[in-house]
Amino acid sequence: MQKTVKSFILKFLFFLYLLNPANAAFEIKASTAILQDYLSGEILYEKDADLQIYPASMTKIMTSIIAFELIKKGELSLDDKFMVSENAWRLSKSGYSSMFIMIGDEVSVENLLKGIIVASGNDACVALAEGIAGSEEEFAIMMTSKAKEIGMENSNFSNSSGIDHINNYSTVRDIMIMSNYLIKNYPDLYEYFKETEFTWDRTGGDPITQGNRNPLLYKNIGADGIKTGHLAISKYSLAASIFKNNRRLISVGSGFESKNSRSRESTKLLIWGLTNFDVIEISKKETDIDELDVWLGKNKTVKVHTQTDIYKTIPKARKKYLKAKIVYQGPIQAPIEKNSKLGSLIVTYKDEIIGEYDLFASEEIKKLNIFSRLIQSINYLIWGDV
């Protein structure tokens, strides 16, 4: 039921998007792209979003997620250290994005993560993968399993770094899902993605400082992540997120012709989303939004809430067309159990239903004793007063 409602909402908003001539003329110079409003989850723009791509270094988002999840569970610490194998060291060479670790180095998980996220080090990816799973192959299985778990239906990972491999594939829609999951589930650790540089005090040489490859971090647009990518076969790619004016947008694009095009077109897409749409808060998860009438209860009303955050993204200056109403069979007879379903919250845009959500009791309402029930029933019969 929820998937059907979500599908309808997305189709309805895309229909509105097509009706607007300004939006219909909007175009991004990339092979495939997508833009999502983070809070509402609604798709504001897409171009061949299910086209299969090679994700290149955007793969490292999932590499980070696997480590973040273990840290969150307490099964891994940022202070834990992993030994660098020859296999990992071989990627510390010219021609590869590297952290420049050496064979036999013991490197902390935190430094490896910074080497992956900031410096895009392929060597750091292999060292982390081997330290967690014993081999990069086993780690890739963990990555693909996690991808399926979070709804990435068209992705497979064969390595931890995104180095060219026919079985390392995805779509911009799946990478958007992965990016959303990262930000939502690991907000503290996500802070690494906005760091603009990382200095590695390497063995046998001077410290190396590398800047973050995400070009949007150096623009004044509120960017705080997430990951670039490049392979000759799929050209330039970027998963990006900005947080500005209490709004977060996530964009993913692939097939940009150059670094400059990647930066320019990604910025254009994100700014377009900010300037053409507003996000409206309808309800916060488990926060009371109204009171419903109760019959024969110790309280005359019961507070209700939704069990999810509800936001809607609408075109600018169209807020007046967005409405929400509560529908229920009332008054509701006591006793009422806490968290029992009592009604529905219906959201409409221009009188079209774009969402329907269950309402639940925020409190327990006990039944009146028999004498009080009798008095209230008599009052109702005489005065109509419930």
Residues catalogued as catalytic: 57, 60, 120
* Alpha-carbon span 54 to 328, nearest angstrom: 49
* Alpha-carbon span 384 to 376, nearest angstrom: 10
- Which value, to the nearest 10 degrees, does the dihedral of the CA atoms of residues 7, 11, 16, 18 take? 150
Beta bridge partners of 348: 323, 353
Take residue 303 and report the two structure tokens written for it: 């507070």
- Which value, to the nearest 10 degrees, does the dihedral of the CA atoms of residues 350, 352, 357, 361 take? 60
CB atoms closer than 10 angstroms to residue 340: 13
Distances (CA, A) of 247 to 82, 95, 243: 38, 38, 5
* Alpha-carbon span 291 to 301, nearest angstrom: 6
Contact indicator for 347, 8 with CB cutoff of 8 Å? no
